[in-house]
Amino acid sequence: MSARDDTRQARGFAAALLKQGDAALEANENATARAVFNESAAIRLALMEAKPDDRVAAHALAVALERLGLAAQAIGDLDAARGAWEDELALAFRLFEPDDLEGMRFCAIVESHLAGAGGPGAEAHRRAALERFDELARGGALTDREAALRKKLWGG
């Protein structure tokens, strides 16, 4: 088996784990979801470390970290949730150009998670998310879901 096949299998397994974790999270099996998302993130981290310039691997890791944060939050472990989302945000800054609309959207959502998790820096994340959502709104690119999240961040 070639290294390319190994990579393809690892990516497929990590994606399957993500689906399993989503199902567990939806079923309120939060500890299972967290464990599965953690395993997916570990595989995706190894893939990214093997090819540090692979944007697909970095984006896949960011997605796994978001889900890991959601599962940790559902359990009540806000420190772990913040840690996962901070790592995700660092990846997002690496993946997207500052004026990229999809990057703004991605970062705003992660920053809104961080704002909602409270703790140090929550207010700064809230303001940053609002700035990004405002920019999306000015560009006519804000979805209804994002508009609702923006309103929630404003306290409404």
The tens digit of pLDDT for each residue in 62-120 reads: 999 999 999 999 999 999 999 999 999 999 999 999 889 999 999 999 999 999 999 98
pLDDT > 90? residue 4: no
Rounded CA separation 78/120 (Å): 11
CB 86 within 8 A of CB 76: no
pLDDT > 90? residue 2: no
CB 89 within 8 A of CB 62: no
| Neighbour tally for 98: CB within 10 Å | 8
User: What percentage of residues in the chain have a pLDDT greater than 70?
Assistant: 97
Average pLDDT over residues 12-26: 97
pLDDT value at residue 47: 96
Orientation angle between helical segments 144-153 and 101-116, nearest 10 degrees? 40
Class of domain 1-88: mainly alpha
CB 51 within 8 A of CB 60: no
